[in-house]
Amino acid sequence: MRYAVVILAAGQGTRLKSDLPKVLHRLAGRPLIEYALEAARAVSSEAPVVVVGHGAEAVRAAIGDRGRCVLQAEQLGTAHAVRQAEAELRGQCEAVLVIYGDMPLLRADTLHALAETQALNSTGPLTLATAEAPKLKDFGRVVRDGAGEVRAVVEAAQATPEERALTEMNVGAYCFDAEWLWAALPQLPLSPKGEYYLTGVVALAVRGGGRVAAVRLDDPAEALGVNTRAQLAEAEARLRERINAHWMAEGVSLVDPATTYIEPTVQIGADTCIWPNTHLQGRTSIGSACLIGPNTIVRDSIIGQRCRIESSVLEGAQLAEEVSIGPFAHLRPGARLERGVHMGNFGEVKDSVLGPGTKMGHFSYIGNATIGAQVNIGAGTITCNYDGVKKNPTVIEDGAFIGSDTMLVAPVTIGQGAKTGAGAVVVDDLPAHSLAVGVPAKVIRKLGKEGA
Ligand code: UD1
Ligand code: CA
């Protein structure tokens, strides 16, 4: 059977009280629409049809070529929204899965279950997902008859007190026989609120003698719809639980899962331990047996095995194995720390390489620098890389010893095994194995191979 997926994303999200279209609000760092696109991708290799309307240009830009966008110029309800996909899909598929763009916790497995159940529903034109979720008070209620068959979905606003008391909710995910759907949509009535409700198809199918099948979800969190800021926070908490449970099952220790924030795009190796208030974001990958946190942000960075990062911020950085960082270090884009580097408190590194075993213990700024192996960077060392117009490079060769409070006025090269005295301001290149002191720094002698 050929399946197509339709994602409804035209609504404003009035209850969020925001200038941003609802589906662009972020959950665990990604816009809500990403989650729907991902679920759709798991059931159909063809790009889903996304119905856009409110903030259409911004939503289209976020979707790119991952969805075929169709415009719903006026938001006249969920049934009206699905009709906008007809021209794109009519005759192209036998079954249509419809999901809403504001249900980020819906699993791809649920879409598979809907498709499979509908394939077996020989007497009926649709299958819908339901969940036992008494707390979701603004959801449509699933009405069943004495035999347990689904008869209708009634929106909360239109429900009688008896219907409001029902606790089986309409999740907002459906699988339809395609031809039946296109014929049914124009028959739906206008609601008292002036909208065409997709949920009306259930009663329509029943009136036509068809059986409406239902897939009951075990996990009501999957049904969470984001209509309000409170529901956005709730969805964030549930997604966090899901992600954290996954990593713990993969052998990662989380000292306090409630204060560990791992975005869905992150990878973590086994035997890594994450301390509280740690945020792992974007395209970050953490090796095995690392200690990360507490109070650490790692964004778009690659961390090797057995690294230790405490109370620090890393963005766009790369660490080889056994690097130790912090507390209070800041790595910025282009920072690359080779095996065994130690970077202590109050250091900043950007666009620079620190070679294997190099130590930078305290209060230093390293920018646009290439630093070799086993270099000692004394407390307070600064690469003066910016001359007011452009950034200039600093090179420090293997085994050099930079004295405390040295200013390296770039462009400048410190030769292999060279040393600078405390407080030196280095404006000219230093030859290998030389000692320079003063302001501006002058070479005062050659050093032996042991650096003495
Ligand atoms: C909808 C369901 C309700 C279900 C709930 C689950 C209907 C009528 N009601 O209610 O039974 O329990 O979801 O979360 O379907 N949209 C459009 N165009 C429109 C209107 C809405 O694209 O004209 C989109 C919205 O952007 C949103 C989705 O459809 O992504 C659902 O709309 P929303 O207004 O959030 O419906 P609910 O009131 O939550
Ligand atoms: Ca909703």
The string of pLDDT tens digits covering residues 133-192 is 999 999 999 999 999 999 999 999 999 999 999 999 999 999 999 999 999 999 999 999
- Residue 448's pLDDT is 84
Is the CB of residue 169 below 6 angstroms from any atom belonging to ligand 1?
Answer: yes
- Residue 452's pLDDT is 75
- Residue 245's pLDDT is 98
Query: CA dist 43 to 4, 37, 59, 96, 357, Å?
Result: 9, 10, 22, 11, 49
Atom of ligand 1 nearest to the CA of 22: 26
- Going by their DSSP bridges, the two strands 324-325 and 342-345 should be labelled as parallel
Minimum CA distance residue for ligand 1 atom 35: 227
Q: What is the rounded distance in angstroms from the CA atom of residue 54 to the CA atom of residue 75?
A: 8
Is the CB of residue 174 below 6 angstroms from any atom belonging to ligand 1?
Answer: no
Q: pLDDT grade, residue 1 (50/70/90)?
A: confident
Q: What is the rounded distance in angstroms from the CA atom of residue 175 to the CA atom of residue 1?
A: 12
Give me the mean pLDDT over the 260-266 stretch. 97
Instruction: Give me the torsion for CA of 8, 13, 16, 21, rounded to 10°.
Output: 80
Give me the mean pLDDT over the 28-33 stretch. 96
Atom of ligand 1 nearest to the CA of 103: 14
Ligand with the closest atom to the CA of 14: 1
For residue 449, the CA-to-ligand 2 centroid distance in Å is: 72
Catalytic residue among 54, 112, 342, 362: 362
